[in-house]
């Protein structure tokens, strides 16, 4: 690049930063003094959204000026940085969290895995009935059978005590569940169950980046992590997404960090899974050369696989029926700036949840609030109380979950409409009971053998009928949270 080009680039990026400072004030973090003015009843209060500054805009434009476009240096750096943050062996960028889930399940179907552990058509994967559909859809799309256990209306997570009821020897091969709304599911019970039966565990961590789970020292699952560090009590404190065999992330705008679209598959311990996931992501090919490189293995013309002739170009050998699910390097450039801000984003989510919980404490007679897994209660003086398991959770809340108690004089829908009328964003807990969704109910009618249900799913129905959530994302200001609290209190007391 010539000096003239470097100077021109510098001028462009300087102007880009100035433009962003003037144009994107509403997208700044809630504690940023340059944040746009909030006018109660006139300024929308989103349930989630993009939180960024001129840093991300400059990074995106700078990447466009380089015009590499396809996944490259920015992507490699982001993958390495995310893996280091989570404490996993590898992270592989993809174009969405839903694609990440598809790849994680697809990887378990690979003929490169031991036959007794390979997920084959008709094998079963245990999952939870309440949540987002693309946690479950890949199980069906890969020809396996989802086995549904119920959800706990208080935590939003699976009732993991039902895992043993769902197990079928010789049929069950994996467990795949999401950490609901930034609340880790009961990893102790799940890990011990998977260890007992030699099952794969996929953590859908799309709504839970930055959550932690503290596994007590007396758990049998500790044997899996014998070489990993423990605290002074012998317990282990790790991020969700670093406990199972594979985990997934979403970087869609409502999530803990954003690239616009985007996601990742995390390979927690077993390095051989990285090659398999990468193959399914990259057309199903065997070659692991990065984009723009041709002979990483120094054996490009030295392979013989399948029924191909010896020396067939390794860049065009395919061992899986794969996809092309990579994002752009531009997205990774944005993601790197977001990743640097992630610790602050996590703390803001925790703080915003706490402000809402304290502000709404007087409504406990008509509203039921979420509790972290293993918590037994909450009070404004002492915070959470915990069960006797010795396990704890630290939530990086995706949202503030509210359920309407049976004695309330209003319904969830009435409350949701009232919040809408006052420009306060709110959402259902995604698909509610997924078995009631048109796509799943149609499958049950036409091919009931394609799924199995363990319980009456009363908890998932309760979530479907009575639950919504409002925002905790780091773009919220104290004034926005005060407005949310006053609006909810006024409605419930009227």
Asked whether the beta carbons of 333 and 111 are under 8 A apart, the reply is no
Q: What is the pLDDT of residue 494?
A: 85
Is 255 an active-site residue? Answer: yes
Q: Which alpha helices (H) appear in 360-430, and where do they start and end?
A: 412-421
Per-residue pLDDT of the chain (494 residues; tens, 9 = 90+): 798 999 999 999 999 999 999 999 999 999 999 999 999 999 999 999 999 999 999 999 999 999 999 999 999 999 999 999 999 999 999 999 999 999 999 999 999 999 999 999 999 999 999 999 999 999 999 999 999 999 999 999 999 999 999 999 999 999 999 999 999 999 999 999 999 999 999 999 999 999 999 999 999 999 999 889 898 889 999 999 999 999 999 999 999 999 999 999 999 999 999 999 999 999 999 887 777 778 888 889 988 989 999 999 988 999 999 999 999 999 999 999 999 999 999 999 999 999 999 999 999 999 999 999 999 999 999 999 999 999 999 999 999 999 999 999 999 999 999 999 999 999 999 999 999 999 999 999 999 999 999 999 999 999 999 999 999 999 999 999 999 999 999 999 98
Catalytic position from the list 255, 314, 374, 422 = 255
* 8-state DSSP, 35: P
Dist CA 206 CA 69 (whole Å): 25
Helix (H, G, I), strand (E, B) or coil at 244: coil
* 8-state DSSP, 127: E
448 HSE (CA, 13 A, CB side): 2
Candidates 181, 211, 485, 484; CA nearest to 345 is 211
Q: What is the pLDDT of residue 86?
A: 98
Q: Which alpha helices (H) appear in 198-287, and where do they start and end?
A: 271-281
Residue 27, CA distances (Å) to 20, 94, 200, 335, 480 in order: 10, 25, 39, 16, 14
Place of tokens 């209003």: 410
Place of tokens 């502000």: 359
Dist CA 84 CA 454 (whole Å): 38
Q: Domains of the chain (ranges plus CATH)?
A: 1-284+319-494 (3.40.640.10)
* 8-state DSSP, 335: H
Model-level pTM?
0.96
Provide the β-strand partners of residue 93. 264
Q: What is the pLDDT of residue 295?
A: 86
State how far Cα 83 lies from the chain centre.
Answer: 15
Residue 468, CA distances (Å) to 13, 222, 414 in order: 42, 36, 11
Residue 58, CA distances (Å) to 25, 28, 80 in order: 15, 15, 22
Determine the longest span between alpha carbons in the chain, in angstroms. 78
The DSSP string of 53-89 is -HHHHHHHHHHHHHT--BS-HHHHHHHHHHHHHHT-S
Hey, what are 331's tokens? 């997205």
Candidates 116, 265, 278, 274; CA nearest to 204 is 265
Asked whether the beta carbons of 237 and 327 are under 8 A apart, the reply is no
What value does the CA radius of gyration of the chain take, rounded to a whole number of Å?
24
| Secondary-structure percent of the chain, ordered helix, strand, coil, rounded to 5 | 40, 20, 45
Asked whether the beta carbons of 119 and 173 are under 8 A apart, the reply is yes
Residue 493 neighbours by CB under 8 Å, 6+ apart: none
Hey, what are 102's tokens? 């598809």
Residue 88 neighbours by CB under 8 Å, 6+ apart: 241, 242, 247, 266, 267, 268, 269
Give backbone dihedrals phi and psi of 173, rounded to 5 degrees, phi first.
-120, -20
The DSSP string of 454-465 is -S--HHHHHHHH
């Amino acid at each position: 690049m010539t000096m003239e080009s470097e100077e021109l680039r510098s001028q462009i990026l300087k102007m880009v930063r100035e433009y962003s400072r003037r144009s994107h004030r509403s997208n700044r973090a809630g504690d940023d003094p340059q944040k746009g003015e909030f006018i109660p009843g006139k300024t929308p209060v989103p349930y989630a959204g993009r939180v960024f500054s001129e840093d991300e805009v400059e990074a995106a434009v700078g990447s466009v000026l380089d015009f590499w476009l396809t996944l490259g240096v920015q992507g490699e750096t982001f993958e390495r940085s995310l893996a280091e943050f989570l404490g996993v062996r590898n992270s592989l960028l993809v174009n969405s969290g839903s694609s990440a889930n598809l790849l994680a399940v697809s990887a378990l179907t690979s003929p490169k895995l031991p036959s007794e552990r390979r997920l084959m058509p008709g094998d079963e994967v245990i999952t939870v009935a309440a949540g987002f559909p693309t946690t479950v859809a890949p199980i069906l799309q890969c020809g396996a059978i989802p086995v549904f256990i119920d959800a706990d209306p208080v935590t939003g997570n699976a009732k993991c005590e039902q895992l043993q009821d769902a197990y079928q020897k010789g049929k069950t091969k994996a467990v795949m569940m999401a950490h609901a709304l930034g609340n880790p599911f009961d990893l102790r019970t799940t890990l011990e169950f998977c260890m007992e039966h030699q099952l794969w565990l996929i953590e859908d961590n799309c709504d839970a980046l930055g959550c932690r789970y503290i596994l007590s020292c007396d758990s049998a699952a500790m044997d899996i992590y014998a070489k990993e560090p423990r605290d002074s009590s012998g317990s282990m404190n790790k991020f969700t997404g670093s406990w199972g065999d594979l985990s997934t992330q979403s970087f869609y705008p409502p999530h803990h960090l954003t690239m616009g679209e985007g996601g990742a598959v995390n390979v927690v311990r077993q390095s051989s899974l990285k090659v398999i996931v990468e193959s399914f992501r990259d057309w199903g090919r065997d070659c692991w050369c990065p984009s723009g490189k041709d002979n990483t293995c120094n054996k490009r013309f030295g392979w013989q696989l399948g029924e191909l002739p010896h020396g067939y170009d390794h860049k065009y050998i395919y061992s899986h029926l794969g996809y092309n699910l990579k994002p752009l390097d531009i997205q990774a450039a944005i993601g790197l700036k977001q990743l640097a801000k992630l610790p602050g984003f996590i703390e803001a989510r925790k703080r915003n949840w706490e402000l809402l919980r304290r502000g709404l404490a007087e409504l406990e007679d008509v509203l039921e609030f979420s509790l972290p897994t293993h918590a037994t209660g909450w009070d404004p003086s002492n915070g959470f109380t915990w069960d006797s398991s010795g396990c704890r959770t630290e939530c990086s809340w995706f949202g503030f979950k509210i359920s309407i108690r049976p004695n309330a004089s209003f319904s969830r829908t009435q409350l949701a409409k009232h919040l809408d009328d006052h420009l306060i964003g709110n959402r259902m807990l995604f698909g509610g009971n997924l078995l009631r969704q048109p796509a799943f109910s149609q499958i049950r009618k036409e091919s009931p053998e394609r799924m199995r249900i363990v319980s009456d799913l009363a908890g998932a129905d309760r979530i479907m009928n009575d639950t919504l959530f409002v925002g905790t994302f780091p773009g919220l200001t104290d004034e926005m949270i005060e407005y949310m609290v006053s609006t909810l209190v006024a409605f419930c007391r009227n």
